[in-house]
Amino acid sequence: MSLKNAIDAMRNGKMILLFDAEDREGETDLVIPAICTTPADVALMRRDGGGLICVAIYADAAQRLGLPFMSDILKSISKNGHKSLISLVEKKGDIPYDSRSSFSLWVNHRETFTGITDNDRALTIRKVGETVDKVMKGEKIDLGDEFRSPGHVALLRAATGLLKERRGQTELSIELALKAGISPSMVVCEMLDERTGKALTKEDAIKYSKEKNMPFIEGKDIQG
C-alpha cells in the first residue's frame, strides 16, 4: 500500500504496519497515534504483535518534557556511587544494528491501578499523547502531575535529527506523524512469530495487513 494510505490512516487514528529495513532490525511494527489508542488497540498489539508496547516521542517534545535517555540516567548514576552500572551502557558493539537505544523512562498514569491491564495501558498511552500535544503547543508540563515511574509503558526518545541520525522504528514513526500533521507521539509494537521464536517475516506481515485491511509500508517509503 502507499504512503498516502498510511498517512490517511494515521489522521483517522487507525493502525498501520511499518517495516524498518532488511539491513536493520528487519521487523514490522504495529503503529498507531498515541492520542487515539484504545484498550482494544492495546489488546490487539499484545495478541497479534506480541512485542513491547512503547510510545515514541518527538525529540523536541521530549526535551521540553525533560525526558532523558535511559543510558544517560545509568551513566549519571554510575558517577554517584554505582560504578558497576557503567558497563551496562559503555561496552561497544552490543547492539548489532545500531549504536544506541532510544529508551527513556517507563511510566504509568496516576489514575491507573496496576498499570498493566489493557485499560490502564491505553489510559497511560493516551495521556502521553495528550501531554506531547500540549507541550508542542507551548504549554509547560510537569510530568509528575500526571505520571509516576517506574511503570508499564516504555517511552522512546526519537533522535534529534530523526532519519538523518537514526533509522529506527522510533524515528520512522515520528517522521510519519510529522508528514501526517498529527501529534508526534506514536505507539509501536513489534510483530513476533510464535512458531519460529523470531520476528514475523515481512511476507507474513504483508499477509496480515491484507487480512486486517491495514496499510503496510516500509521505512524506505517514508525516507523517500
- For the question of residue 54 being annotated catalytic, the response is yes
78: in domain: no
Would you say residue 204 lies in a domain? yes
Catalytic residue (one of 20, 27, 29, 218) = 29
Q: Which residue has the higher pLDDT, 224 or 38?
A: 38
Whether 29 sits among the annotated catalytic residues: the reply is yes
- The pLDDT tens digits for 84-133 are 777 766 666 566 655 567 899 999 999 999 999 999 999 999 999 999 99
Residue 147 lies in a domain: yes
Q: Looking up cell 495501558, which residue turns up?
A: 121
Which member of 119, 152, 204, 221 is catalytic? 152
Catalytic, 190? Answer yes
CATH of the domain at 26: 3.90.870.10
Is 134 within the bounds of a domain? Answer: yes
The CA distance from 110 to 25, in Å, is 34
Is 211 one of the annotated active-site residues of the chain? Answer: no
Q: What is the CA radius of gyration of the chain?
A: 17
Establish if 88 belongs to a structural domain. no
Is 208 labeled as catalytic in the residue annotation?
Answer: no
Active-site residue, selected from the candidate residues 25, 27, 120, 190: 190
| Catalytic hit among 108, 133, 171, 208 | 108
- The number of domains in the chain is 1
Report the 3 state secondary structure along 154-212.
EEEECCCCHHHCCCCHHHHHHHHHHHHCCCCEEEEEEEEECCCCEECCHHHHHHHHHHH
152: annotated active-site residue: yes
Residue 97 domain flag: no
Residue % of the chain over a pLDDT of 90 = 73
- Among 25, 36, 54, 189, the one annotated catalytic: 54
Catalytic residue among 97, 111, 139, 165: 97
Tell whether pTM > 0.85: yes
- Its domain, for residue 12, covers 3-68+105-223
158 belongs to a structural domain = yes
CA-to-CA distance for 205 and 22, rounded, in angstroms?
A: 14
CA distances (Å), origin 81, targets 23, 74, 177: 39, 11, 41
Span 56-91, pLDDT tens digits:
999 999 999 999 988 788 877 767 766 677 776 666
Residue 81 falls within a domain, yes or no? Answer: no
